[in-house]
């Protein structure tokens, strides 16, 4: 027997977290099969709204709004054909119904860059009983830090919580954590009648909010202590950095940042001080360019020193370092007395690593012939025999001080071009010099080994 709302009505009747069913269903039916426009990044729930996944189902899921600070449920509603803007608008407005006195709202959504377009116009078209009535309320869109990197990055800094005033250290992924804790409700309630299902989800959401409420004091105290410690550290670091910069430049930067922050969405006619023009080169592309460069050098009459070119030498060294790091971690993770199978696999991996190190040792005198003299000058020994291959030191140009890099060259000349290129390109670079192949190592190679240091750090949103 197929249940229904008349046979199994909800006891809460819209007085819990779920919105009142009848007005909501009427609103959803009035929108028909509207299509959401995805012009930035696809969302699975949006993509499946009008497909076979929704056929034969009374509801395809639940859409919700929650407090981003406390991670408490505020409002829930059923999805009939996937996650559509009409349902998101309705729940968002219902979530604000108890907070209409607020003047500032940060609305974080996985697809805020699409959803926020014409949002205020759509809110005005909602049913009269839930329309937004506070014209002074300012709504700012944002995207959670987990989802934001997957979007197009052109003029997308305005959605990053790293740059939105008032966002603090929030990551904007509260709903993901809430769904992660409650996804099992899908299977637990799919055989229930519609009313029992809503009451069960309401009760679970209420239990979650109660647990959050009773632990709010300790949570806020922990966050407060961390914030005070971080603030003292960051204020000191910021003051030190600012004190070493030209005051006129600092003033101009501050004015640009303030102007950008005050500009209304979509900030199209104001200079974006946070936009960074950058190009990332992957390993395959870097190897291709290096191969073409090596081919051009040979065609110009250059000498081929070995069947493995300089780029291959560097890749081999980075792979060895990566293997050493993984093997070291594996040894730490294993028990003091490994099982026979673990001991056998460890011995096999160490044997393979020794072969790679032997190949590296054969190539090193060709591409780093002055390394032995350099190590002697800095009073370091390269002839120590390590018991385990993961402890063998693998020397790369990035391990050598920039002002001493020339000592590893076969020509022994202190070329200004060599030093300048070495310093500008970063530590993961072997500079070109007369008589040897160009062996510039692109930044993309750094991702191959956690042991290769870089001069800069990239902050991910």
250 Cβ contact partners less than 8 Å away, ≥ 6 residues apart: 242
Specify whether the CB–CB gap between 71 and 177 falls below 8 A: yes
Strand intervals (E) in 35-72? 61-66
Specify whether the CB–CB gap between 95 and 132 falls below 8 A: no
Rounded Cα gap, residues 458 and 461, in angstroms: 10
Please choose, from the candidates 10, 28, 130, the residue with its C-alpha nearest in 3D space to the C-alpha of residue 86.
Answer: 28
Query: Beta-carbon neighbour count of residue 208 at 10 Å?
Result: 18
Specify whether the CB–CB gap between 379 and 345 falls below 8 A: no
The residue ranges of every structural domain in the chain are: 21-214, 217-262, 283-448
9 φ/ψ angles, rounded to the nearest 5 degrees: -75, 155
DSSP per residue, 287-346? HHHHHHHHHHHHHTT-----SS-HHHHHHHHHHHHHHHHHHHHHHHHS-SS--HHHHHHH
pLDDT tens-place values along the chain, 461 residues long: 467 877 888 888 888 999 998 999 888 888 876 655 555 665 555 555 555 455 666 778 899 999 998 999 999 998 887 678 888 999 999 999 888 888 999 999 998 998 999 998 898 888 888 876 688 889 999 999 998 888 877 888 999 999 999 888 889 999 999 998 988 888 888 888 888 899 999 999 999 999 999 999 999 999 999 999 999 999 999 999 999 999 999 999 999 999 999 998 888 889 999 988 766 666 777 778 878 888 888 888 877 778 888 788 888 888 999 999 999 988 888 767 788 888 889 899 999 999 999 998 888 888 887 777 777 776 665 555 678 899 888 887 777 766 665 555 543 333 333 323 333 333 333 333 333 332 233 322 322 222 223 233 332 33
């Amino acid at each position: 027997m197929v249940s229904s709302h008349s046979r199994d009505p909800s006891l809460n009747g819209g007085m819990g977290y779920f919105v009142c069913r009848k007005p909501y269903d009427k609103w959803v039916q009035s929108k028909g099969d509207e299509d959401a426009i995805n012009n930035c990044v696809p969302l699975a729930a949006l993509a499946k709204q009008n497909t076979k996944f929704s056929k034969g189902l009374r509801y395809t899921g639940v859409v919700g709004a929650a407090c981003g600070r406390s991670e408490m449920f505020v409002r829930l509603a059923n999805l009939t054909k996937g996650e559509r803007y009409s349902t998101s608008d309705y729940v968002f407005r219902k979530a604000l119904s108890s907070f209409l006195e607020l003047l500032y709202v940060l609305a974080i959504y996985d697809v805020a860059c699409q959803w926020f377009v014409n949002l205020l116009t759509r809110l005005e078209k909602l049913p009269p009983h839930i329309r937004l009535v506070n014209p002074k309320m300012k709504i700012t869109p944002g995207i959670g830090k987990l989802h934001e990197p997957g979007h197009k990055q052109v003029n997308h800094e305005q959605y990053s919580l790293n740059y939105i005033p008032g966002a603090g250290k929030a990551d904007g992924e509260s709903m993901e954590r809430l769904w992660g804790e409650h996804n099992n409700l899908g299977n637990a309630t799919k055989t229930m009648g519609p009313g029992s299902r809503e009451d069960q989800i309401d009760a679970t959401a209420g239990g979650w909010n109660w647990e959050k409420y009773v632990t709010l004091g300790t949570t806020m105290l922990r966050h407060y202590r961390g914030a005070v410690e971080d603030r003292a550290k960051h204020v000191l670091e910021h003051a030190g950095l600012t004190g070493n910069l030209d005051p006129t430049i600092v003033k101009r930067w501050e004015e640009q940042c303030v102007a950008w922050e005050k500009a209304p969405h979509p900030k199209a006619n104001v200079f974006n001080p946070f936009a960074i023009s950058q190009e990332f080169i992957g390993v395959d592309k870097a190897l291709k360019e290096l191969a073409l460069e090596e081919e051009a050098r040979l065609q110009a009459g250059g000498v081929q020193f070995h069947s493995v070119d300089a780029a291959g030498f560097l890749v081999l060294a980075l792979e060895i370092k990566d293997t050493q790091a993984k093997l070291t971690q594996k040894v730490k993770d294993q028990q003091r007395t490994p099982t026979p199978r673990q001991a056998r696999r460890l011995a096999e991996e160490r044997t393979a690593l020794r072969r790679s190190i032997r190949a590296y040792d054969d190539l090193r005198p060709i591409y780093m012939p002055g390394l032995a003299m350099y190590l002697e000058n800095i009073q370091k020994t390269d002839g120590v025999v390590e018991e385990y291959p993961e402890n063998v030191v693998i020397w790369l140009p990035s391990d050598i001080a920039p002002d001493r890099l020339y000592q590893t060259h076969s020509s022994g000349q202190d070329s200004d071009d060599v030093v300048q290129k070495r310093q500008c390109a970063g530590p993961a670079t072997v500079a070109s010099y007369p008589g040897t192949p160009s062996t510039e190592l692109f930044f993309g190679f750094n991702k191959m080994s956690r042991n290769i240091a870089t001069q800069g750090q990239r902050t991910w949103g």
